Structures are given as C-alpha cells and as structure tokens.
Amino acid sequence: MAIILDGKIIADAIQREVKIAAEQLRLTTGLVPGLAFILVGENPASQSYVKSKGVACLDAGFYSVTERLPGTADEAEVLALIDRFNKDEKIHGILVQLPLPAHINEQRVIEAIDPGKDVDGFHPVNIGKLMIGIDTLFPCTPAGIIEILKRYAIDPSGKHVVVVGRSNIVGKPIANMLVQKKEWCNAIVTIAHTGTKDLASFTRQADILIAAIGKARAITADMVKPGAVVIDVGINRIPDASTKSGSRIVGDVDFDAVKEIASAITPVPGGVGKTTIAMLLVNTLRAAVKTSPQA
Ligand code: GUN
C-alpha cells in the first residue's frame, strides 16, 4: 500500500511561507504582490480555477483583480488588457486562464505578457530559460510536482522518470526541469505521448511515473512497476450518479488499483492541483520581489 503524497498539506505549508514572506516584503519595502487574472468566456472549469486562485491570493495578503471578457471578445481586447497590466505597477503577475476561445490565438496572447510578469511561466523567454537551466518563473504545475518530491524527500536524481503527455503546460516543462543537472532533478527522462506504441512497455520502466494525459484512469495497475512513485496530474470529470452533482473528479491514474503496488502516489483531488495554486503565489511573490530596488 502506497504512501499518499498529500498535496494539500504541502500547499498549505507553502502558502503559509508565502504569506509570511509577503508580509515581510510589505513591511520592508511597502510592496504588496499583485496578480491580475484574465478570464475569457464561460468555461465552468476555468471559472472555478480562477476563483480558487483568487481566494488563495486574498489569503496570502496579495492584491488581485479579475477581468472577465465575454466569449465573443476578440483578440485585440485581450491584448489591450494585457498591455494595461504590463504597465500597471501594482500588478506583478498576469495570468490569462487557458484555454481561450478558438478564435483567439493563444500563443500571441502568451507572448504579449511581460516575461517578468508571466507567473504561469508560459512565455517563450521563460520556457527558453527553463530549458537551458537558468532560474526564472517556472510553470506552476511542474514546479508543484518538484515541491511534492522535495518535501517527501523523493530524490529523482539518477532515477528513470517517465512523463506521459507532452503539453506545453505540464509534460514538456516537467521533463525539461527534471533533466537539469540540479538538486531535486538530474533524472533520466522519457516522454511518452499519443505517438507512443505500447505505452505500458515504457510506463513499466518508470521509477517515477508522471501522468499528464487528460484521460480518466488511463494508467492502470499493470502499467506500473511495483514500488514506483506515481504523480497524477489529471483532473477529469466523470459521471457518478451517487453524488449530488451527478459527477466527480478523477485523475489520469486508476488510483484504487495503483495505490496497492506503488510506493507513493498523489491523490486526485488533493494532490498536484493544490500545489499548482501554491506555486502561482510563489511566482507572484518572486515577480514582486524582483521589482523591488532592495531586491
Ligand atoms: N489552464 C489549465 N492549466 C492552466 C494553468 O496552469 N494556467 C493557466 N493560465 N491556464 C491553465
């Protein structure tokens, strides 16, 4: 039976640390970290994520604003908002919740954000720095995964990490972070994806398996090496008549079966998702500190 890697405990600890650091920053420099959210359209999951992130900002003592645009808004309106926040000294982080409506070019929007305010770590400048091992604003979900490993003393150095999924938000950045010659990285990394034939033959080689697929319970027990560490990034809604809402959230891993053979596993909910929000606060604090003349 696996150890459950509790994302909530870790996120709470990080959020307490950030709150104290933000208070010290305010006392010594007068700076209050400020985060601007841009939400386009009515996607219920996006609305819920932005709400949770906004609550976390308030709890940490940050300043935050949310600009909501209708799903019919055009790209120029989004770019104009970004331009305004880029110039706003009270705003240190800008987060455009993805996905954007199909008529808006996501990449142009990401590239319009000042890289110093790119608290999602999606701007090509930040991704480029990540790739060559320069400290920068790192994408929140991968950064949260590394915090989970660190705080449970699971050292990926010399281990074989298999990442399933090659998204720009999770798969590619976590693979490139873990391969760096740095503490809590230095792993041997394989990226599997939709082009991978016989996925199980790869996942079974993983000492640390990271599932960022976006498909409910795609990783089954037979795909996991006994004793492996399993990190589940999935957030999938499935029908469940026994719940009030008629649905519930499950990960990319068949948790009940895999927990019997893994040595450690993140639950969904209560795993990686919680640390993603905590790392957004860390990034916003870091972005604010960088603007301080005393920094
Ligand atoms: N959509 C899904 N995950 C994310 C994220 O980490 N940041 C943003 N901006 N949008 C997302």
Centre of ligand 1 from the C-alpha of residue 247, in Å: 22
Kindly report, residue by residue over 172-230, the tens digit of the pLDDT. Answer: 999 999 999 999 999 999 999 999 999 999 999 999 999 999 999 999 999 999 999 99
- Would you say the CB of residue 96 lies under 6 angstroms from ligand 1? yes
Alpha helices in 37-170 (DSSP H): 44-59, 75-87, 106-112, 124-131, 140-151
> Is the pLDDT confidence value at 285 over 90?
yes
Known catalytic residue at 53: yes
CATH superfamily of 140-274: NAD(P)-binding Rossmann-like Domain (3.40.50.720)
Every domain of the chain and the residues it spans: 29-114, 140-274
pLDDT band at 292; cut points 50, 70, 90: confident
Q: Whose CA is nearest to atom 3 of ligand 1?
A: 98
pLDDT band at 294; cut points 50, 70, 90: low
Question: Which CA distances in Å does 15 have to 84, 110, 146?
Answer: 28, 26, 16
What's the pLDDT score for residue 293?
Answer: 76
> Is the pLDDT confidence value at 47 over 80?
yes
User: What average pLDDT does range 12-22 have in this prediction?
Assistant: 98
Centre of ligand 1 from the C-alpha of residue 144, in Å: 13
Q: Which of 114, 118, 120, 207 is catalytic?
A: 120
- Would you say the CB of residue 50 lies under 6 angstroms from ligand 1? no
- The token duo for 51 is 């709400």
Q: Which residues pair with 93 in a beta bridge?
A: 35
Task: Look over the chain and give the mean of its residue pLDDT values, rounded to a whole number.
Answer: 97
The residue whose CB lies within 8 Å of the most ligand 1 atoms, and thus the one to mutate among 57, 78, 120, 174, is 120
What's the pLDDT score for residue 263?
Answer: 98
Kindly report, residue by residue over 72-103, the tens digit of the pLDDT. Answer: 999 999 999 999 999 999 999 999 999 999 99
Q: Whose CA is nearest to atom 2 of ligand 1?
A: 98
Nearest-CA neighbor of 88 among 111, 68, 114, 108?
Answer: 114
- Evaluated on CA atoms 270, 259, 145, 23, the torsion sign reads positive
The residue whose CB lies within 8 Å of the most ligand 1 atoms, and thus the one to mutate among 53, 98, 237, 281, is 98
Percentage of the chain exceeding pLDDT 70: 99
What's the pLDDT score for residue 173?
Answer: 98
Q: Counting atoms of ligand 1 from 1, which one is nearest the CA of 98?
A: 10
| Non-local CB neighbours of 284 within 8 Å, separated by 6+ positions | 33, 34, 35, 57, 62, 92, 93, 119
- Would you say the CB of residue 170 lies under 6 angstroms from ligand 1? no
Centre of ligand 1 from the C-alpha of residue 285, in Å: 18
CATH 3.50.50.60 for domain 29-114: no
What is the 8-class DSSP label of residue 269? Answer: S
Kindly report, residue by residue over 262-271, the tens digit of the pLDDT. Answer: 999 999 999 9
Centre of ligand 1 from the C-alpha of residue 277, in Å: 10
- Would you say the CB of residue 97 lies under 6 angstroms from ligand 1? yes
Question: Which CA distances in Å does 260 have to 2, 224, 230, 270?
Answer: 6, 10, 12, 18
User: What average pLDDT does range 119-146 have in this prediction?
Assistant: 98
- The token duo for 247 is 């649905």
- Would you say the CB of residue 120 lies under 6 angstroms from ligand 1? yes
> Is the pLDDT confidence value at 295 over 70?
no
What does pTM read for this prediction? 0.97
Centre of ligand 1 from the C-alpha of residue 201, in Å: 30
> Is the pLDDT confidence value at 4 over 70?
yes
Centre of ligand 1 from the C-alpha of residue 260, in Å: 31
